[in-house]
């Protein structure tokens, strides 16, 4: 019996020693497990310290660099062109304005008569496209841009830069040339503005019959480029106004640029100011104040595009007939 109790005590003693040994080994095992955990903590970003650089050369339209000829590029001196000034308008008195109506029209550059607007050559004055001439005047601060056709809200340089941006910004990863798996930096790029995306211009003008001169006058008030946007499949989605420019402020600048003449590039070329004053462009009316109490465009009132064009011709004819009906033969 005593031998049985001795064996039981020996077994209990051995179990206690084993439990104590296991308790002493657990902290060491925990330290070993913590040291073996080589994973990154939660929320760790391996690219967090990679620099991000904005590629300013791709932001917006850049036509500030004009390459001038180092030698005379013509057989005759044309320096006098930069000294031209427009002729002043004839004064119109409010008391003599027997008739006055405002008209909005669009100039489609895809028409043959409007091809000079798309002349893509360069000279000492830079790109000769009309949109390029307009944007250079805007960036140089010679004219002020407005967000509406009443010229109430001017746009700052940041607003103009955003309007002339080519498309949404994109982030591109720049990799190491020696290690393609290593990213050196992220570069924010944006496609530059395409001047060919402007296929239309909107013109606001006012027709006034002066009873003192007994004739109809037309005064262009503003010009706005219309930027064409496209769907991902390349289909044209529509066009929107980029900004408005007050035309009388633009006249001194347009007087210094010659219009492309496909028949004669000599002294017979007119300036852009003369082109607008001589009405040497093709357009169609999209809106007028004549019988328009709801201030709607022609397309808002008439959905059919063919009938809308005919309504624009009807407005033009009514203005023309008003002057003719005042005469008696």
Which two structure tokens, joined as six digits, stand for 228? 């064409």
Per the structure, the count of domains in the chain is 1
- Residue 12 is assigned to a structural domain of this protein: no
Identify whether 224 is part of a domain.
yes
* Paired tokens of 23: 């308790």
Range of the domain at 148: 52-61+96-282
Q: Could you report how far apart the first and last alpha carbons of the chain are, in Å? A: 153
Q: How far is CA 275 from CA 52, 244, 271, in A?
A: 48, 19, 6
For residue 6, being part of any structural domain is answered with no
180 occurs within a structural domain = yes
pLDDT band for position 14 (50/70/90)? low
Query: Among 59-63, 111-115, 202-206, 275-279, where is mean pLDDT lowest?
Result: 59-63
Look at residue 265 and tell me if it is in a domain. yes
Residue 139 sits at φ, ψ, to 5 deg, of -70, -30
Listed in sequence order, the residues at least 6 apart from 33 whose beta carbon sits closer than 8 Å to its beta carbon are none
**CA dist., res. 84 & res. 143, Å (int):** 18
Question: Looking at the domain assignment, is residue 208 inside a domain?
Answer: yes
In a domain, 197, yes or no: yes
Give residue 143's pLDDT.
Answer: 95
SS3 content of the chain, % helix, strand, coil (to 5): 35, 25, 40
204 is a domain residue: yes
- C-alpha count within 13 angstroms, C-beta hemisphere, residue 147: 10
Query: What is the model's pLDDT at position 45?
Result: 57
Return the pLDDT at 252: 96
């Amino acid at each position: 019996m005593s031998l049985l109790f001795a064996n039981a005590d020996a077994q209990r003693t051995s179990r206690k020693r084993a439990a104590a040994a296991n308790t002493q080994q657990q902290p060491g095992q925990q330290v070993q497990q913590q040291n073996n955990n080589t994973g990154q903590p939660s929320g760790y970003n391996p690219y967090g310290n990679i620099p991000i650089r904005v590629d300013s050369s791709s932001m917006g339209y850049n036509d500030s660099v004009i390459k001038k000829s180092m030698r005379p590029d013509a057989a005759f001196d044309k320096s006098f062109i930069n000294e031209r000034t427009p002729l002043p308008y004839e004064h119109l008195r409010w008391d003599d304005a027997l008739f006055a109506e405002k008209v909005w029209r669009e100039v489609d550059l895809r028409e043959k008569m409007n091809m000079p607007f798309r002349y893509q050559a360069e000279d000492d004055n830079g790109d000769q496209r009309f949109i390029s001439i307009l944007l250079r005047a805007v960036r140089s601060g010679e004219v002020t841009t407005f967000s509406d056709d009443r010229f109430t809200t001017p746009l700052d340089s940041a607003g103009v830069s955003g309007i002339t941006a080519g498309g949404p910004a994109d982030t591109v990863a720049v990799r190491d040339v020696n290690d393609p798996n290593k990213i050196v930096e992220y570069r924010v790029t944006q496609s530059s503005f395409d001047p060919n995306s402007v296929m239309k211009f909107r013109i606001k003008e006012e027709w006034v019959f002066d009873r003192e001169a007994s004739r109809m006058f037309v005064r262009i008030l503003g010009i706005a480029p219309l930027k064409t946007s496209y769907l991902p499949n390349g289909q044209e989605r529509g066009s929107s106004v980029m900004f408005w420019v007050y035309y009388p402020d633009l006249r001194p600048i347009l007087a210094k640029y010659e219009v492309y003449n496909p028949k004669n590039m000599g002294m017979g070329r007119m300036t852009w100011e003369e082109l607008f004053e001589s009405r040497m462009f093709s357009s169609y009316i999209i809106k007028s104040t004549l019988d328009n109490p709801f201030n709607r465009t022609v397309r808002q009132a008439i959905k059919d595009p063919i009938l809308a064009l005919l309504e624009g011709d009807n407005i033009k004819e009514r203005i023309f007939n008003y002057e003719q009906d005042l005469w008696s033969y």
